[in-house]
Amino acid sequence: MKPNNIAFYFRAFISCLVWVLGISTMYAVDPVPVEKKWVVDGVDRVGLVYAPTLATTSPTPVMFAFHGHGGTMQHAARTFAYHKHWPEAIVVYLQGLNTPGKLTDPEGKKPGWQHGAGAEKDRDLKFFDVVLTKLKSDYQVDESRIYSTGHSNGGGFTYLLWSQRGDVFAAMAPSASIANQELKSLKPKPVLHVAGTSDPLVKFDWQERMMTALRKLNGCDPKGQPWDKSGDLVGTIYRSEKGPPVITLIFPGNHKFPQEASALIVKFFKENKKSSLP
């Protein structure tokens, strides 16, 4: 074969390869969480778990995301979509059980999470423990990068996890929620709180008091600095000389989770890692 023919076929091969790679990128399948099952105190529990391929061979961060009262793990995966914003992390969307609500659904006809330590026989704290133990056996979990976030009742459960399992986590990001009796047992930790100024269910002034308590807990400066923003979401960071920061994400909306918050929550988690393990 003549040299000029070799050059021609080589260029053709490169062009074809670039075309194939381009088509593959265009039609790449989004990461999809897989349904998993666990048995906790004789009760079948389920959740959606997204785990990247490298999670079995490399230390991998873990992010738990909890739906609100009346929600589902499927809706949480679609709405939060953390596995798309952080495909390098193990992302877990667990499913709650029917639970009496504090603000709605007093008869407990819709799924949710226990509201405090000891409530519902601690079924959801036990659920979390079982799932985390299984993740550690199946994957190489980076224990310095375990996180929790949740909206509404799921945010309240995130505060409960902070209270009862605080040593596990590097940072927390509750949304449209407050801590109740758990506040007194919280230890300083990086936290991002999302709140809508027109929230009709978890009133904004309740959340303002919660955010003030978090700044006091972490020993933060009273004056915040701009952090980041997306759409109507405005982030403010309150730094602490001796403790972790508090970030608030405020938007002029109601109780609905603002989808723009997902990318900022992932950014916050990436910025905060436990400096040492207990």
Q: What is the pLDDT of residues 10-53, one digit of tens each?
A: 565 555 444 444 433 333 346 789 999 999 999 999 999 999 99
Please tell me the predicted confidence (pLDDT) of residue 21. Answer: 42
- Kindly list the distances between the CA atom of residue 156 and the CA atoms of 93, 153, 248, in Å, as whole numbers in the listed order: 15, 5, 16
pLDDT at residue 174 is higher than 80: yes
- Domain of 24 in residue numbering reads as 1-30
> Is the Cβ–Cβ distance between 265 and 192 less than 8 Å?
yes
Indicate if 7 and 94 belong to the same structural domain.
Answer: no
> Is the Cβ–Cβ distance between 97 and 72 less than 8 Å?
no
Indicate if 9 and 146 belong to the same structural domain.
Answer: no
Please tell me the predicted confidence (pLDDT) of residue 22. Answer: 44
Amino acid in position 135: L
Number of domains the chain is built from: 2
Indicate if 16 and 110 belong to the same structural domain.
Answer: no
Would you say residue 42 lies in a domain? yes
- How far apart CA 202 and CA 104 sit, in angstroms, is 11
Would you say residue 277 lies in a domain? no
Would you say residue 124 lies in a domain? yes
Indicate if 162 and 83 belong to the same structural domain.
Answer: yes
Please tell me the predicted confidence (pLDDT) of residue 278. Answer: 41
**Cβ contacts of residue 114 below 8 Å, gap of 6+?**
99, 120, 122, 123, 124, 125, 157, 160
Would you say residue 278 lies in a domain? no
Indicate if 111 and 5 belong to the same structural domain.
Answer: no
Indicate if 75 and 196 belong to the same structural domain.
Answer: yes
In a 3-state reduction of DSSP, which class is residue 28?
coil
- How far apart CA 174 and CA 74 sit, in angstroms, is 19
- The reported pTM is 0.87
